[in-house]
């Protein structure tokens, strides 16, 4: 009988020792024992590192601590830090869990590995719920359109897991959070891991590229994890410290990269709709700020990326509204 495959769990962390413990406890509760946990510290304070090193003494040797930068440094951001974890990973499969999130289903890994082995799947997604810092549910499920598209014939025997098409999983605007994404290490190596030129929207960028490259995709609609929507604190994460304008531009870069990186019509269609919507948002924000030419340029980009009658009318109205001011 073949040995059960190893799964590598990558946890980026920075100055969140107490939350990290919740994450690690949920991993320890998993029924699947064949895993390694790579906790990658991205420049936490010296005091926080000491707390985390002490914390890890509670766990067995499967939990490993890696320091990427000197303490109290800027850090390299989520894309680079996760790629460092991927480079260290020894497992056949790789998954991620942010240090402020946690898995709620104790057989999450067991079900995923069993089904991926059975189907020779490259990617597996589970259901996730989004909560605010007080524990209130913000989003019940992040992939309702995908779940609605599921057919009984797609369901695997004995499991609430479905073999889905690329078109199904890329049902805009649904996307899978990293915390419930499991891929083969080979697939991540093939696509080059995370695109390191961005430190915002890196999760969506990877989601689309993984779906673009995978041949067999599995989806489990039931809730397997909780994602904590972060409080807006400047010292907590790279993404929260960015201005709104910078976030928009980084998001544009993430989607433009996808236009060059992806090959499948489904992935390109998802990207075009996403980019068109983003251009529309930017155009409307610029228009409210009285930036006429910039608003018009972004409105034209939105129309070119994904033409609609409604947006064509808006573009004409925008021209006229500025012309008669």
Q: Which residue(s) pair with 65 in the sheet?
A: 39
Packing angle, helices 244-261 and 265-288, rounded to 10: 160
Mean pLDDT of 237-254: 78
Higher pLDDT, 87 or 311: 87
Q: What CATH number belongs to 7-240?
A: 3.90.550.10
* CA 324 centroid distance within chain: 44
CA distances for 252 relative to 23, 41, 246, angstroms:
31, 28, 10
Packing angle, helices 309-323 and 292-305, rounded to 10: 170
Average pLDDT value over all residues in the chain: 92
Q: Which residue(s) pair with 12 in the sheet?
A: 40
pLDDT band at 68 (very low <50, low <70, confident <90, very high): confident
The model's pTM? 0.92
Q: Is the pLDDT of residue 237 over 60?
A: no
> Could you give the 3-state DSSP secondary structure of residue 318?
helix
Mean pLDDT of 50-77: 91
CA atoms of 198 and 177, how far apart (whole Å): 17
Q: Is the pLDDT of residue 230 over 80?
A: no
Query: What is the DSSP secondary-structure string of 249-269?
Result: HHHHHHHHHHHHH--SHHHHH
- Quick: pLDDT tens for 90-118: 999 999 999 989 999 999 999 999 999 99
Query: 68: number of CA atoms within 13 Å, CB side?
Result: 25
Task: For the chain, give the percent of residues with pLDDT over 90.
Answer: 78
pLDDT value of residue 26: 97
CA atoms of 206 and 96, how far apart (whole Å): 12
Where do the domains of the chain lie? 7-240, 264-323
Look at 65-74, 271-280, 286-295, 315-324 and tell me which has the smallest mean pLDDT. Answer: 315-324
- Quick: pLDDT tens for 13-36: 998 888 899 999 999 999 999 999
Query: 282: number of CA atoms within 13 Å, CB side?
Result: 25
Look at 145-149, 200-204, 285-289 and tell me which has the smallest mean pLDDT. Answer: 285-289
pLDDT value of residue 231: 64
Q: Is the pLDDT of residue 86 over 60?
A: yes
Q: Which of 69, 41, 80, 74 is nearest to 198 (CA)?
A: 80
Q: Is the pLDDT of residue 74 over 90?
A: no
Asked, as a colleague might, if the bond just before 136 is cis with ω within 30 of 0, I would say: no
Residue 159: CB atoms within 10 A of its CB come to 15
Q: Report the sign of the C-alpha dihedral through residues 82, 84, 88, 91, in that order.
A: positive
Q: Is the pLDDT of residue 235 over 90?
A: no
Mean pLDDT of 314-318: 86
Look at 29-33, 268-272, 318-322 and tell me which has the smallest mean pLDDT. Answer: 318-322
pLDDT value of residue 127: 97
- Quick: pLDDT tens for 179-202: 999 999 999 999 999 999 998 999
Look at 95-104, 152-161, 230-239 and tell me which has the smallest mean pLDDT. Answer: 230-239
pLDDT band at 322 (very low <50, low <70, confident <90, very high): confident
CA distances for 34 relative to 24, 107, 302, angstroms:
15, 12, 47
pLDDT value of residue 134: 86
């Amino acid at each position: 009988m073949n040995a059960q495959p190893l799964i590598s769990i990558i946890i980026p962390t920075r100055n969140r020792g107490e939350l990290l413990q919740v994450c690690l406890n949920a991993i320890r509760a998993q029924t699947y024992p064949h895993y390694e946990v790579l906790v990658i510290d991205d420049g936490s304070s010296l005091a926080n590192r000491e707390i985390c090193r002490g914390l890890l003494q509670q766990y067995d040797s499967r939990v490993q601590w890696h320091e990427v930068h000197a303490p109290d440094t800027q850090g390299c951001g989520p894309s680079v830090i996760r790629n460092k974890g991927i480079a260290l990973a020894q497992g056949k499969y790789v998954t991620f869990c942010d240090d402020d999130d946690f898995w709620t289903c104790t057989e999450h890994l067991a079900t995923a590995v069993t089904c991926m082995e059975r189907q020779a799947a490259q990617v597996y997604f589970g259901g996730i719920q989004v909560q605010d810092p007080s524990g209130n549910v913000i989003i019940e499920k992040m992939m309702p359109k995908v779940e609605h598209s599921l057919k009984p014939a797609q369901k695997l025997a004995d499991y609430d897991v479905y073999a889905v098409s690329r078109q199904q999983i890329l049902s805009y605007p649904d996307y899978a959070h990293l915390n419930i994404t499991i891929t083969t290490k080979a697939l991540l190596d093939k696509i080059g891991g995370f695109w390191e030129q961005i430190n915002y929207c890196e999760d969506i960028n990877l989601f689309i590229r993984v779906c673009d490259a995978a041949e067999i995709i599995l989806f489990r609609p039931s809730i397997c994890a909780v994602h904590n929507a972060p409080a807006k604190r400047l010292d907590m994460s790279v993404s929260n410290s960015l201005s709104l304008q910078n976030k928009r531009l980084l998001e544009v870069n993430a989607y433009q990269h996808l236009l060059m990186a992806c090959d499948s019509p489904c992935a390109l269609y998802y990207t075009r709709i996403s980019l068109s919507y983003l251009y529309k948002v930017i155009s409307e924000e610029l228009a409210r700020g009285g930036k006429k030419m910039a608003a018009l340029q972004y409105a034209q980009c939105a129309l070119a990326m994904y033409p609609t009658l409604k947006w064509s009318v808006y573009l004409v109205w925008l021209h006229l509204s500025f012309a008669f001011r």
